[in-house]
Structure 1
Amino acid sequence: MTGWRLLLTRPADESAALAGVLAQTGIFSSSLPLLEIEPIPVSDTMRRVMQDLDAYCAVIVVSKPAARIGIDLVSRFWSLPPALKWFSVGAATAQILEDHGLDVSFPAEGDDSEALLDLPQLHEAIARSAPRVLIMRGEGGRELLAERLRERGASVEYLELYRRDLPQYPPAALPDLIKAERLNGLVVSSGQGFEHLHQLAGDAWPQLAQLPLFVPSPRVAELACVAGAQTVVDCRGASAAALLTALREHPEPVL
């Protein structure tokens, strides 16, 4: 797979970790973070939710930043987290929670809301009278989880912990980097990551849209296709393992 030269767009620390995994398999990558995580200041709503944390039958954490910020917030209010069921969308987020001693369930296949909704442990957690579910996430985002859980009779609340901003770059930073590093593939990890990629590309988007674009889910694939991306590869997950599998299955570019 050494023919690949990939653009990584995750937050800086996550891109660095992914670059290390890719380098071990001989894949060159260059990073231009398109998501900057800004924690939201603790509000009265956050304090109320934390004080009532033991009233929920399940807590769903949808991302690694939500896990890190959420754990820090819980530790401010609880010397030991209350005994309740924790869920995550993917294994990497689950690992952060497990490292803090939490009992976490997550889908073995798929890193998305659809896979989590099929998880038997989640069905079991809300199979009670008047179940309450808390979703820890960033500002905005998909409503699918809450909608489906409400259809199943659960009361769902959000705890929004951070914002995802686009870092400030010179106008031609993205196409200039791709040209300078001779990159031949683009990687995004979320719908907002793709939107920032599209935005930063500007007038160069028609050219960049010709490069293979690796995305984590059918939803992001659809966003990219609608925007004109010509070769979209759904990795069926946002993990390094999912990306490596997709790279193996997709024709390697000729240098």
Structure 2
Amino acid sequence: MTGWRLLLTRPAEESAALSSVLAEQGVFSSSLPLLDIAPILASDTMREVIQYLDRYCAVIVVSKPAARIGVDLLSQYWPQPPALKWFSVGAATAQILEDHGLDVSFPAEGDDSEALLELPLLREAIARSDARVLIMRGEGGRELLAERLRELGASVEYLELYRRELPQYPPAALPDRIQAERLNGLVVSSGQGFEHLHQLAGDAWPILARLPLFVPSPRVAELARAAGAQTVVDCRGASAAALLTVLREHPEPVL
């Protein structure tokens, strides 16, 4: 895998952690964060949702920022968390919740909405006529999850805890970084991460679209292909392990 030279686009702290894991496997990476996490100021509605959390049969947390902000809110109103089922899309998000004393279930394979929807414990939790599910997330995203849950008979509500903003960069920052460091692969961790990549690429997108693009799910893969990305690799998850698996399987580029 040592032929790969990857651009990482996650928030700075997450990119640093991923870069460290990649370096251990001999993979060079360069970080250009394309997502800033801006917490949403808690409103009366948000506080009411947390106060009456026990009216839901399941809470699904779809990202690490949602988990961090969510447990901070939870601790303000629930010294002892209510007895309900907690779910996360991946192991890293689950760990944050577990560190707060919550019992969390997540898919053993594939950290995406599709894998979570197949989880028997989730199916069991919503197998009641009055099933209400709360999804903790950022603004927008994971619509497939809510749609499928509603098809299965559950009532679904959102608690949006943060927004994802594009950091300010000079106009040519993205193509300049790729050229200067001879990067040969791009990594995004969400649909909005890809949208920011596409936006920042500007007039250079037709060139950057030729580079292998590693994405976390079929939904993001479809978004990237629709925008003209030529080689899209679905990692079926945003974890370091998922990325390393596809790097081993995907032919290394010729330098």
Into which bin does the TM-score normalised by the smaller protein fall? Answer: over 0.9
Aligned-pair CA distance for 1:210:
1.0
- Secondary structure of the residue aligned to 1:161 is strand
1:29 and 2:3 equivalent? no
Following superposition, the deviation at residue 79 of structure 1 comes to 0.9
1:71 is matched with which residue? Answer: 71
Q: Which amino acid aligns with 2:15?
A: S
How far off is 1:133 after superposition? 0.9
Structure 1 residue 6 corresponds to structure 2 residue 42 = no
| Identity score, percent | 87
Q: Deviation at 1:151? A: 2.2
Deviations 1:185-207 (A, max 9, x none): 10001111111000000001111
Distance 1:138 1:217 in 2: 17
TM-score (norm 2): 0.98
**Aligned twin of 2:134:** 134
| Distance in structure 1 (CA, Å) of the matches to 2:143 and 2:235 | 22
Q: Does the residue aligned with 2:41 lie in a helix, a strand or coil?
A: coil
In the other structure, the counterpart of 2:202 is 202
Extract unaligned runs of 5+ from structure 2: none
Task: State the partner residue of 1:179.
Answer: 179
Number of aligned residue pairs: give it: 255
Q: Displacement of 1:5 after TM fit?
A: 0.6
TM-score (norm 1): 0.98
Q: Match for residue 50 of structure 2?
A: 50
Runs of 4+ in 1 over 3 A off after TM superposition: none
Find the counterpart in structure 2 of residue 85 from structure 1: 85
- 1:211 is aligned to 211
Supply the distance in 2 between the matched residues of 1:150 and 1:253 (Cα, whole angstroms): 43
- In the alignment, the residues of structure 2 paired with residue 208 and residue 38 of structure 1 have an alpha-carbon distance, to the nearest angstrom, of 28
1:56-75 per-residue CA deviation (whole Å, 9 max, x = no partner) reads 11000011110000000101
**Residue type matched to 1:75 in 2?**
S
Gaps of 5+ in 1: none
The CA deviation string for residues 192-248 of structure 1, in whole angstroms up to 9 with x for no partner, is 111100000000111111111111111111111111111111111111000001101
CA displacement at 1:149 relative to structure 2: 1.7
Residue 223 (structure 2) aligns with: 223
Say what the alpha-carbon RMSD is for the aligned residues: 0.9
Task: List aligned pairs for 1:103-122, cutoff 5 A.
Answer: 103-122=103-122
1:229 aligned counterpart, secondary structure: coil
